[in-house]
A and B are shown apart, each in its own frame.
Chain A
Amino acid sequence: MTPLLTLESVSLRYWRGRRPVQVLKEVSLDLEAGEFGGIWGDRSAGKTTIAKIAAGVLSPDEGRVTFDGQRLADAGRQEQRGALHAQIGLATRRGPEMDGLSVEAWIAATMLNSHSWRAALRRAHIALERVGAADVGADSWENLADGERMLVAIAQAIVRGPKLLIVDDPVAGLGASRRAEIMDLLHAIRGAGVAVLMTAAELVELQGADRIWSLADMCLDGPPARPIGTVVPLRGTGGAHHG
């Protein structure tokens, strides 16, 4: 069976002035359709970088990223590339910080290549309902609490009905009930047939994942205190400077 997502020997470095900083070095993983995968690493291990590369919004210096049998970077014309990327949703904590846009309008804006404004707003509202955040649809991003922002980000990521949802550190810093709400939501999305790839700094946050990859330079010292699935080190390493 062909994996839905494959990262093969992906490497990336940033330049800090004239000094190169290796963020990822020959990282490989693959995720099956409908699978829940976790990437576990410290705050500066490169989790966000992997999430962006897997979503196709950041290109690696070396290596290959394949989604549904096609290389993301080789998806040809703009329209084909757009169609492929539409099948991947990326949820991060970034939003329209000071634009005064309602979050419903912000989500709707991702649909404009295929929907009228009114239809896009309706789809955005449905996505917000699905994540349990319809009550904040008229609010602007800057007025939302952290947990609400994550729900809205997930709504924005699933509004186009992706095959893969990538969520970057979705529960860090949240209270217990909000954490549980978001994790239940992610598992429900996975239950609907969408593959989920989630990053986390705490291993326990990945409880229930089918597979967990460690972004640490070293393997685990021993088994985790609670059984949470199989933890395997990524082939390759994460750097130590960027999250």
Chain B
Amino acid sequence: MAEAVLSETTPRSGSPLLEFRDVHKHYRSGSEVVRAVDGVSFTVGAGELVALYGPSGSGKSTLLRIAAGIDAPDSGGVFVNGRDITVLSDRDAAQYRMYVLGWINQASDLLDGASALDNAAVKQLVAVRSLRRARRNVAPLLEELGLGQRLKHRADTLSMGERQRVMIARALSVDPRVVLADEPTGSLDTRRSHEVLALLRDATHTRQMATLLVTHDEHAIAYADRVYTLQDGVLHGSGPDAVPTP
């Protein structure tokens, strides 16, 4: 199954790159059943940035973990290029995260002891097995993201905005088909937030990725092509007209 997901990097004509199909995930808390995700269905097409907006505890993180193939839903599926990734083995799911998925969070996953370049190159490195090649491939990406002068700087010496861009470079380094961004602006000031969101939007359009942006930042949703809200595990849609202009 993983091979099928990995091999089909070109989206099928007319089918969405990423599709949530009637996904349910319930937890039991004492005698109470928590409906973390309750019948969620939506799609994200190639070149599309979809924002999932919701308060803390609304089910966003659960949905992301399911989309990353970490947690299995109780029912329903998440389809990438028409293949259900929720039924992959742990090892195949890791391959899916490695080569198909780009993951962006608040940059807390960076290795503080490694340079910006090596932090960005690590996924590429596993793919090409040559440090020189991986660095050569990723350096232009960091330059494109405005970090050309910071390639050799240790991650812990970078500003939060710079760390966030390293995280984006790492995610983009394997040319992912799907990007999941979990509160990527959570630790940034307003100006840096807008810069990072613009980068994400432009990369999504240019690289024809399906990007799902999970956020409770009202500024962030302005960069989305479509916006959904998640409340108590239930998805509420809003059309393109509802998207404010950045």
Using CB atoms and an 8 Å cutoff, list the residues of chain A in contact with chain B: 55-57, 78, 81-82, 85-86, 90, 94-102, 105-106, 109-110, 112-113, 116-117, 139-140, 142-143, 156, 160
Q: Which of A55, A85, A101 contacts B122 (CB 8 A)?
A: A101
Q: Report yes or no: B154 in contact with A99, Cβ–Cβ below 8 A.
A: no
- Contacting A at CB under 8 A, from B117-137, are 118-119, 121-123, 125-126, 129-131, 134
- In the complex, what distance in Å separates the CA atom of A140 from the CA atom of B96? 12
How many A-B residue pairs have C-beta atoms within 8 angstroms? Tell me: 97
Shortest Cβ gap from B69 to chain A (Å): 9
- Contacting A at CB under 8 A, from B69-113, are 70, 90, 93-99, 101, 103, 105, 108-109, 111-113
- In the complex, what distance in Å separates the CA atom of A74 from the CA atom of B131? 30
Residues of B near A97 (CB, < 8 A) are 103, 105, 109
Q: Report yes or no: B95 in contact with A100, Cβ–Cβ below 8 A.
A: yes
Considering only CB atoms, which chain B residue lies closest to A107 in the complex? B111
Residues of B near A139 (CB, < 8 A) are 90, 94
Whether B26 is near chain A, meaning CB under 8 Å from some CB there, is no
Residues of B near A96 (CB, < 8 A) are 109
Q: Which 7 A-B pairs have CB atoms at the shortest separation, nearest pair first?
A: A100-B97, A100-B98, A98-B103, A140-B94, A57-B156, A100-B94, A112-B118
Q: List 17 A-B contacts (CB under 8 A).
A: A55-B112, A56-B156, A81-B157, A85-B112, A85-B154, A86-B113, A97-B103, A98-B105, A99-B98, A100-B97, A101-B123, A109-B118, A110-B111, A112-B114, A117-B134, A139-B90, A140-B94
18 more A-B residue pairs beyond the given contacts A85-B154, A99-B123, A109-B125, with a C-beta to C-beta distance below 8 A = A78-B157, A90-B112, A94-B108, A97-B109, A98-B101, A99-B122, A99-B170, A100-B98, A100-B123, A101-B126, A102-B126, A109-B114, A109-B119, A110-B114, A112-B121, A113-B115, A142-B68, A156-B111
